[in-house]
Amino acid sequence: MKLSINGLSKTYSNGTQALKSVTLEIPTGMFGLLGPNGAGKSTLMRIIATLQEADEGSINLNGLDVLKEKKQVRQLLGYLPQTFGLYPDMTAEEMLDHFATLKGIHRAGERKAAVKALLEQTNLYHVRAKKLGTFSGGMKQRFGIAQALLGNPKLIIVDEPTAGLDPSERQRFHNLLSEIGENIIVILSTHIVEDVSDICAHMAIIHEGEVLLTGNPLELIQAANGKVWQAMIEKSEVAQYQQAYNLISSRLYAGKVIVKAYSESRPSEAFQAVAPELEDVYFTHIKEKDLAA
Ligand code: ADP
């Protein structure tokens, strides 16, 4: 499977340019689309999911023209939107059965088997008779994946699936996604760096409608080796450091502030080299773009 996006642009009627000539090659496996709120991720996900029109550009999924052959694309697609409505009084089993009917699985026996298998896969079989209104955030998101997997899709799109999940729910959700992502394309849109560093083999950073960087997270981290520096400073020194150095992040630690800088060479005696993380790569590129604007 391969998804090719070429020169995709979208401007909303109020003049917001949500996508600016986005070009991306997305191979089989887990693909992380990482960007801050407002970057254009949901717009891109909805266009790929055939739910929204683009102004310019093309998308090709294994020879299918995604912007034109919507019906065929929908046969191959599973989508978990950022927010999706569930009937709180329906049980997980009833609701998934309903979604399976909508997906075109009309034979009762086949539908029953598919529903059972997906509830098992997403670890919800034991709560199949519970009402969805009683589900935790993590359970709802796993249910969302179960419905996205109906009909054996070849392309799955999940939009901000871990926002609002606690760390153990997020871990569980990561495990589930990485199990399904081996033979199909899974696009995970997120503003959470760990979602990408934990489970994605390929990624892109998107900001203000533009793709800033694409690659393999490990290689992108390696490329930053020797260029990320850290210093522990007083709160009163932060403004001065921001002026003097190319700071990419700061966080409080034991009443002091740990700042990180991106630089080819050691910025000053106060800084120590540290092993780069994906977050450093992310902040560096977002900051460069903001400074250039
Ligand atoms: P993300 O998913 O990365 O947060 P979105 O695709 O939701 O980004 O939004 C990209 C930009 O488009 C933002 O500036 C947002 O305010 C704007 N936007 C999104 N949907 C609409 C809409 N229906 N009408 C006008 N502007 C929109």
Domains of the chain: 2-216 (3.40.50.300), 222-292 (no CATH)
> Which one-letter amino acid corresponds to residue 47?
I
Return d(Cα 217, Cα 201) in angstroms, integer.
7
Q: Report the SS3 class of residue 23.
A: strand
Return d(Cα 20, Cα 243) in angstroms, integer.
31
* Cα distances (Å, whole numbers) of residue 83 to 35, 122, 192: 18, 19, 17
Q: What average pLDDT does range 1-24 have in this prediction?
A: 97
Which residue among 16, 37, 47 is best mutated to probe the pocket of ligand 1, counting the most ligand atoms within 8 A of its Cβ?
16
Please name the residues in contact with 60: beta carbons below 8 A apart, sequence gap of 6 or more: 2, 3, 4, 6, 66
Cα 140–chain centre separation: 17
Task: Judge whether residue 286 has pLDDT over 80.
Answer: yes
pLDDT of residue 242: 94
What atom of ligand 1 comes closest to residue 39's alpha carbon? Answer: 3
Helices and strands: H and E segment counts in the chain: 10, 14
pLDDT of residue 183: 83
Q: What average pLDDT does range 168-190 have in this prediction?
A: 89
Helix-, strand-, coil-residue percentages of the chain, each rounded to 5: 40, 30, 35
Please name the residues in contact with 23: beta carbons below 8 A apart, sequence gap of 6 or more: 5, 6, 7, 8, 211
pLDDT of residue 110: 95
Nearest CA residue ID for atom 23, ligand 1: 12
Q: 66-115 pLDDT, tens per residue?
A: 999 999 999 999 999 888 788 999 999 999 999 999 998 999 999 999 99
pLDDT of residue 289: 80
Most confident of 158-162, 263-267, 288-292: 263-267
The two structure tokens encoding residue 32: 């992380």
What atom of ligand 1 comes closest to residue 44's alpha carbon? Answer: 6
pLDDT of residue 82: 83
Q: How far is the CA of 222 from the centre of ligand 1 (A)?
A: 33
What atom of ligand 1 comes closest to residue 209's alpha carbon? Answer: 10
pTM of the model: 0.92
Residue among 285, 233, 224, 278 nearest 259 (CA): 233
Whole-number mean pLDDT of the chain?
94
DSSP string, 130-145: SBGGG--HHHHHHHHH
User: What residue spans of 103-237 are helical by DSSP H?
Assistant: 108-121, 137-148, 167-180, 193-199, 217-223
Q: How far is the CA of 17 from the centre of ligand 1 (A)?
A: 9
Q: How far is the CA of 14 from the centre of ligand 1 (A)?
A: 11
Q: 28-69 pLDDT, tens per residue?
A: 999 999 999 999 999 999 999 999 999 999 999 999 999 999
Terminal Cα-to-Cα distance of the chain (whole angstroms)? 36
What atom of ligand 1 comes closest to residue 14's alpha carbon? Answer: 25
- Torsion of Cα atoms, 252 then 255 then 258 then 259, to 10°: 80
Cα 164–chain centre separation: 14
Q: How far is the CA of 148 from the centre of ligand 1 (A)?
A: 23
pLDDT tier, 164 (very low <50, low <70, confident <90, very high otherwise): confident
The DSSP secondary-structure symbol of 256 reads E
Task: Judge whether residue 292 has pLDDT over 80.
Answer: no
